């Protein structure tokens, strides 16, 4: 079955950096567009970043542009999120997600087929 496993979360001070990784199995990874989402306590899950199946296209929510970078390695079936200049407002559980897509990107929670279990990111002030 399809499994997405996130890692790399933790506690970091404001201004610091973290790199999240998501390892995928049970799917033909290179045929899936991938996304990162986050959910803070009491709030809805929100889009953070997405990358196309080949890695040539990326898209970010405005609040993370210039600070976060999404990338993927189709040979290793992994997608990563490099987070820099972290702010307390970035505190959330971060999820990776997958959707089969010929081209383009998906930003809607409802359109993704598979989800990981999430990894906690806490940014202290």
Q: pLDDT, tens digit, for every residue of 52-102?
A: 999 999 999 999 999 999 999 999 999 999 999 999 999 999 999 999 988
Q: How far is CA 23 from the centre of its chain?
A: 11
Instruction: Give percent of the chain with pLDDT exceeding 70.
Output: 100
Q: In the structure, what pLDDT confidence band is assigned to residue 43 with cuts at 50, 70 and 90?
A: very high
Quick check: helix, strand or coil at residue 23? strand
In this structure, what DSSP letter does residue 27 have? S
Q: In the structure, what pLDDT confidence band is assigned to residue 112 with cuts at 50, 70 and 90?
A: very high
Q: How far apart are CA 73 and CA 92, in angstroms?
A: 25
Q: Which residue has tokens 């970035």? A: 90
């Amino acid at each position: 079955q399809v499994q997405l496993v996130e890692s790399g979360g933790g506690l970091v001070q404001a201004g610091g950096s973290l790199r999240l990784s998501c390892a995928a199995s049970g799917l033909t990874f290179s045929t899936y567009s991938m996304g990162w989402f986050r959910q803070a306590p009491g709030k809805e899950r929100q889009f953070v970043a997405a990358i196309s199946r080949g890695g040539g296209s990326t898209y970010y929510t405005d609040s993370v542009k210039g600070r976060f970078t999404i990338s993927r390695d189709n040979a290793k079936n992994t997608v990563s999120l490099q987070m820099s200049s972290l702010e307390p407002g970035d505190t959330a559980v971060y999820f990776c997600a997958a959707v089969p897509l010929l081209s383009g990107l998906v930003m809607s929670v409802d359109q993704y087929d598979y989800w990981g279990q999430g990894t906690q990111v806490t940014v202290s002030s």
